[in-house]
Amino acid sequence: MDAKLLIHNTLTRKKEVFKPLQENRVGMYVCGPTVYGEPHLGHARPAITFDVLFRYLTHLGYKVRYVRNITDVGHLVNDADSGEDKIAQKAKLDNLEPMEVVQYYLNSYHKAMESLNVLPPSIEPHASGHIIEQIKLVQDILDKGFAYESEGSVYFDVLKYNKQHNYGVLSGRNIEDMLSTTRELDGQDEKRNPVDFALWKKASPEHIMRWNSPWSDGFPGWHLECTAMSKKYLGEEFDIHGGGMDLIFPHHECEIAQSVASTGHEGVRYWMHNNMVTVNGQKMGKSLGNFINLAQFFEGTHELLTQSYSPMTIRFFILQAHYRSTVDFSNEALQASEKGLSRLLETCNRLNTLKPSGIAGSNPQSPADIQSLFAKCEEAMNDDLNTPIVIANLFEAARIINSAVAGTESLSEEDIKSLKDLFNTYLFDVLGIKNESKADNASAVAFGKAIDLLLNLRMQAKQNKDWATSDKIRNELTALGFEIKDTKDGFEWKI
């Protein structure tokens, strides 16, 4: 924990040395999905970014409480204060219960995250399971005078708040600009000002998801859940709050306002945001036809894809860019990642059979190189999670291994051990890559053993003069494409 981890704080717009509130514990909150559709690239990127942060903090020795919420109520279409609830709308379309929609897509989300080797968070709270906490928060903000009731709904009074605090502190937006660009939307006349946002909405008669409150039968505003649930599980003040850049405004700006209004101070020490994903240089959008979901990537079933891409290729590709840069998905770029990753994994597997070719320290160059690779990987991770540099150093390690295989560089037993350690630590534990090719190797080994077993049975049959069985095994394997040769000591086979 002596390592100086630098984190880029969106709030201060600079890299800061990470210092948690408690010596060896970290509280981390990341906005999870609104579960009303199949998980796509826009879900994969924050999940993978903060999974790597979770893994790295754990690797540094911190006990991390990682909370990632599930939005299952209150997120209205257009991310605004009017219109239908996204989940209720989907439920109506498919003639399902809203919670049926939630469960269905939550299962899909979990399945996709598991394929991507994203570790489950410590707590995964649902907004609908925390209505009491949200009502209490609305009451707190009302009591402090930063909200008002109107026709059974409760709105946050942005102008009043901005007189004492800074609304726009995170996004850098200026209230005058917001006022001049915000149009009045339908049904917003109950607000004092168009920039105000809903804390509680009175439900219209046809609205399905509704709860009793002091103000009306209704439902919480979208931004409320994260403030209420982070406070419940991580306290009034906690270390890291993350999410995609698209959440900076209004979602996270409103979270800050709610938290400052209710407690008098900001709750988050470090705000972190991952950049967006584009497809062939374009923003993803349902209307653009480039909205590719994760299952379509894994199966290669979208018309823009020329092949399928494994979950590890997607993960590796995302980590080849720094989390604050955009990532552009294209077949060419993904194919390059696929090749790069399989080269890295194949080389890593070679370490298992590589024989030491020198005495420890006998090669003046290589031991120093390997130790410096460790240092460089650590340095890169400490520099605001610079995963592309970590990957570049792992490729350098692969180059050393390949030179040793080719006999142009010698590696001692200790070097080989260090290299294994390097891959285990950075590629597998920190970057969270699964060794898919190792699984392939394992099945190839099992397959070979099964063929040996059959041919041994054939030899026994021959010894017992059971020609029928011996011929049957030989003929059927030959028909399957095997070439079998009897030798002095037994047999040889190939496909």
Residues within the interface to Zn ion (CB under 5 A): 31, 226
Q: Which run of H or of E encompasses 42?
A: helix 41-59
Per the structure block, which two tokens stand in for 92? 């109506």
Measured from the CB atom, the residue of 244 and 311 that comes closer to Zn ion is 244
CB closer to Zn ion, 31 vs 390: 31
Token pair 């948690």 is found at 20
Q: Which is nearer to Zn ion, 251 or 458 (CB)?
A: 251
Which residues is 156 bridged to in the sheet? 147, 197
The label of the residue with tokens 């350098």 reads: 396
Scanning 351-412, the segments in alpha helix (DSSP H) are: 366-382, 387-406
Burial of 269-294, coded b for 16+ CB within 10 Å and e otherwise, reads bbbbbbbbbbbeeeebeeeeebbbbb
Min. distance of Cβ 214 from Zn ion in angstroms? 24
CB 256 → Zn ion: shortest distance, Å? 12
What is the closest distance, in whole angstroms, from the C-beta atom of residue 268 to Zn ion in the complex? 11
CB of 65 to Zn ion, least distance (A): 17
Closer Cβ to Zn ion, 71 or 412, answer by number: 71
| Closest distance to Zn ion from the beta carbon of 273 (Å) | 12
Q: How far apart are CA 135 and CA 216, in angstroms?
A: 11
d(CA 264, CA 329): 43
Q: Assign residue 164 a region: left if phi > 0, alpha if psi is -120 to 50, beta otherwise?
A: alpha
CB of 250 to Zn ion, least distance (A): 11
Q: Which is nearer to Zn ion, 135 or 377 (CB)?
A: 135
Q: What are phi and psi of 171, to 5 degrees?
A: -85, -15
Query: Smallest gap, in angstroms, from Cβ of residue 228 to Zn ion?
Result: 10
In the complex, what is the shortest distance from the CB of residue 134 to Zn ion, in angstroms, rounded to a whole number?
12
Residue with structure tokens 């599980």? 233
Q: Quickly list DSSP for 391-407.
A: HHHHHHHHHHHHHHHHT
Q: Which lies closer to Zn ion via its Cβ, residue 273 or residue 315? A: 273
Evaluate whether 153 touches 48 at the Cβ level (below 8 Å): no
Looking up tokens 């970590």 gives 390
Q: In whole angstroms, how close is the CB of 222 to Zn ion at the nearest point?
A: 8
- Nearest to Zn ion of 80, 473 (CB atom): 80
In this structure, which amino acid lies at residue 44? A
Structure tokens at 205: 């008669």
Minimum gap (Å) between residue 85 Cβ and Zn ion:
16
Residue length, the chain? 495
Q: How far is the CB of 31 from Zn ion (least distance, A)?
A: 3
By C-beta, is 31 or 321 nearer to Zn ion?
31
Give one DSSP letter per residue of 306-339, joined into a string. SS---HHHHHHHHHTS-TTS-EEE-HHHHHHHHH
Helix (H/G/I), strand (E/B), else coil: 221: coil
Instruction: Give the Cα-Cα-Cα angle 80, 86, 92 (nearest 5 degrees).
Output: 135
- Nearer to Zn ion among residue 31 and residue 354 (C-beta): 31
Distance CA 18, CA 7 (A): 6
End-to-end CA separation in angstroms for the chain: 53
* Residue nearer to Zn ion on the CB measure, 31 or 240: 31
